[in-house]
Structure 1
Amino acid sequence: MKQGRYRLATVVLAACMSGWAPSAFAAAADAPLTIQVNGAVVETPAGIHAAGDQLMVPLRWTAEQLGATVEWEPSARAVIISRPPVMAKQKMLDSYRQGLTLQSPEKEKQMCPIPAGARQLRLPDGETRPLVLHLKQTGQGSKPKLTVSQGNDGYVIYDAAFRDGRVYVLQDWLEELFHARVQYDKTARTLSIQTPQPEAIEEQIAEIERHLVPSTPDEAVMLWGRGEQTRSGALQYAALSPELRKQLNRIPDEMNWVTGVSSPWVGPITVKEKKKLSETAFAYTVTFPEITSAGPPYPTATEQFVVERLSANGTTGWYITDMVQASPYGLFSPNAS
């Protein structure tokens, strides 16, 4: 796998600024605002103001506080924000959480099971509340907007504010864009921002991966399959041998560790053929329906791969060592060999 490559998040100013008058914002309380970033008090920048139950915070200042770098491209009228490397690991952790979270009993019956070693694993907490990313529409006239793209993610911020050459966004966008934990106490007039911690994320990923080492060749196949069914690139990655990971023709970081598409999606996986190559190697052919909301009949996708028993990083397990035939739903594109 290629290291050190992180897709830039591009924030594009997409509306004409001339003739636009910002709507009135709620006045801030008289008490000064205290801002803490990772527990340390920082100087409060000018221009922060209330909007509903949130604060509007300057995007450049906040990005830099969270470890990102910012560039301005006048010709394109674009703000380029390069996210810190920890964001890639955070996306990987999110992908593991997505793949290992139990679905409804009815849906689980159609899916590859969670590996036995990971069923009692305590997953890190995900989003604890719904984010409010847009204000209720008030007033008339056109608003300037920000279009945000990063990897496979795309967003449009309709409620950005532009004051004195600065761009302000709702505080919840810090959670959406940077995975920061943000809490605003209106009574105490404090804004707390907690960024993802690299050491903690690395430890959580390592703990998950220790519980995911496939103990049988079938378990390696099911781990890969569940990764495709849940669009979890991390689960698929865990099923691959170290050498095969280096041969990926799709970069997981650039995909935000998300594979496939929302429709069609991967249905129940069937092992059509399992051929013993040696005491430590098996060849598999699997099929699955490509399901859509339109209903059957569904086309059938086929994948073929070799699974071998290997020792890696001091642990022995079964891993996919050769992707003979890929589908569009995994980490390998269909032309992978």
Structure 2
Amino acid sequence: MRKKTTILLSSVIIGVLFSGVAYSASGIKLMVNGHLIQPEVPPQIIDGSTMVPIRAVSEALGANVQWNEAEQTVTVDQAGQASLQRQIELLQSALAPESADDAVNAWAKAVKSRNGAVQYALLGPELQSRTAKTYEELNWVTGVSSPWVDSYQVSSRADVEPGTAAYDVAFQLKTSTGNAGEGTVRVTVGKQDDKWKVMKLETTGGSDVLNGIVIVP
């Protein structure tokens, strides 16, 4: 079923407030994902609220807009987004680690390759909710080209309680001039829906050199 959003109209001017859309107070400019949009009906400030034409913004975001005159209703349809989200969920489920060792090693490997999307997929729901904004701001790439993680070592497993295990992962960093230090992260994994997820991340040493490479909420 396609995902639809219905917006009821109460006046001739169709306008809504959009988060993530930037405006300029003088001669209001409408920017969507960094691109200037010039709609037929310009944005307006009414009673202190910035109103923008819904069709211009929706279509700039890849959605279809339909107007039902009989019901006085505008329908914004972003069918592709729901399909893509479902695809991501199925891929994450299929690739989810089936053992505690697999989970921590997959996470450490993703840190080494700076792949924030994989790191995020391996996190439990609570950690995902606390770190999603940070990963998005980094464009899903953790760390920078220098220093980089040259290698890592995962300690032996220590069972914390039934269904939960903790590991210390030591990351060795390098730059073009040589060794750049080491940092250790305590990784606690737990079983959820028969899959293992990273439930807790704590820096236990060298947190300064790991800043930006390991996302610790």
TM-score normalized by structure 1?
A: 0.39
The amino acid of 1:82's aligned partner reads V
Task: Tell me the percent identity.
Answer: 26
Higher helix share: 2
Higher strand share: 2
Q: Which runs of 5+ in 2 are unaligned?
A: 1-19, 36-59, 63-77
Shift in CA distance, 70/243, structure 1 to aligned 2, threshold 3 Å: closer
Q: Secondary structure at the residue paired with 2:103?
A: helix
Once residues 79 and 230 of structure 1 are traced to their aligned partners in structure 2, the CA distance between those partners, rounded to angstroms, is: 39
Shift in CA distance, 196/283, structure 1 to aligned 2, threshold 3 Å: same
- RCO (CA 8 Å, sep 6+): is it higher in 1 or 2? 1
Whether 2:118 is the aligned partner of 1:235: answer yes
Q: Which runs of 5+ in 1 are unaligned?
A: 1-67, 84-147, 150-177, 181-194
Once residues 108 and 119 of structure 2 are traced to their aligned partners in structure 1, the CA distance between those partners, rounded to angstroms, is: 8
What residue in structure 2 maps to residue 310 of structure 1? Answer: 192
Shift in CA distance, 298/196, structure 1 to aligned 2, threshold 3 Å: farther
CA contact (8 A) 1:212 1:238 kept: no
Once residues 317 and 211 of structure 1 are traced to their aligned partners in structure 2, the CA distance between those partners, rounded to angstroms, is: 10
Shift in CA distance, 235/179, structure 1 to aligned 2, threshold 3 Å: farther
- Which contiguous aligned blocks of 4+ residues in structure 1 show a shift greater than 3 angstroms? 68-75
Once residues 79 and 150 of structure 2 are traced to their aligned partners in structure 1, the CA distance between those partners, rounded to angstroms, is: 34
Once residues 114 and 138 of structure 2 are traced to their aligned partners in structure 1, the CA distance between those partners, rounded to angstroms, is: 11
TM-score normalized by structure 2?
A: 0.58
What residue in structure 1 maps to residue 202 of structure 2? Answer: 324
CA contact (8 A) 1:179 1:196 kept: no
What residue in structure 1 maps to residue 104 of structure 2? Answer: 221
Out of 256, 277, 299, which is 2:139 matched to? Answer: 256
What residue in structure 2 maps to residue 93 of structure 1? Answer: none
CA contact (8 A) 1:73 1:80 kept: no
Once residues 173 and 146 of structure 2 are traced to their aligned partners in structure 1, the CA distance between those partners, rounded to angstroms, is: 8
RMSD of aligned residue pairs (Cα, Å)? 3.2
What residue in structure 2 maps to residue 42 of structure 1? Answer: none
Q: Secondary structure at the residue paired with 1:268?
A: strand
Matches within 5 A, 1:9-28: none
Shift of 1:250: 5.2
Q: Residue deviations 1:259-282, cap 9 Å, x none?
A: 111111122220134212234111
The amino acid of 1:301's aligned partner reads G
The amino acid of 1:81's aligned partner reads M
Number of equivalent positions = 153
Once residues 200 and 249 of structure 1 are traced to their aligned partners in structure 2, the CA distance between those partners, rounded to angstroms, is: 20
What residue in structure 2 maps to residue 201 of structure 1? Answer: 84
